[in-house]
Amino acid sequence: MSDAAAALPGGGGAGAIRKRSVTIAGHRTSVSLEQAFWDALRVIADRRGTSVAALIAAIDQAGGGRPANLSSALRVFVLEQVRGGVLR
């Protein structure tokens, strides 16, 4: 994942949209998420002993009935983790 994250309009804080570049299956793509979701993905990745980029690639590959849009799929994944008690 790119260290450079560009803030999109909408102000700062956890609700601010951040756009980051990731490589999935050898292809670069950009993902836009609120900072709170990037933070949650980092916590989940750390707990699993992996990188955020590797976690995103695994989520994308697994599908699991999540939305086809990657940003939406990541939000749903984080919500599932919260509901499952992973992020408490």
Sign for the pseudo-dihedral over CA of 20, 7, 49, 82: negative
Please state, in angstroms and rounded to a whole number, the distance separating the CA atoms of residues 87 and 77.
Answer: 12
Give the rounded distance of the alpha carbon of 71 from its chain centre: 7
Q: Which residues, listed in sequence order, are joined to residue 47 by a DSSP beta bridge?
A: none
User: What DSSP string runs through 9-33?
Assistant: SS-SSTTSEEEEEEEETTEEEEEEE
Share of the chain above pLDDT 90, in %: 61
The predicted structure's pLDDT at residue 42: 97
Q: For residue 25, what pLDDT band results from cuts at 50, 70 and 90?
A: confident
Residue 82 pLDDT more than 70? Answer: yes
pTM score above 0.95: no
Domain 6-83, CATH homologous superfamily name and number: protein bp1543 (1.10.3990.20)
More confident residue, 7 or 84: 84
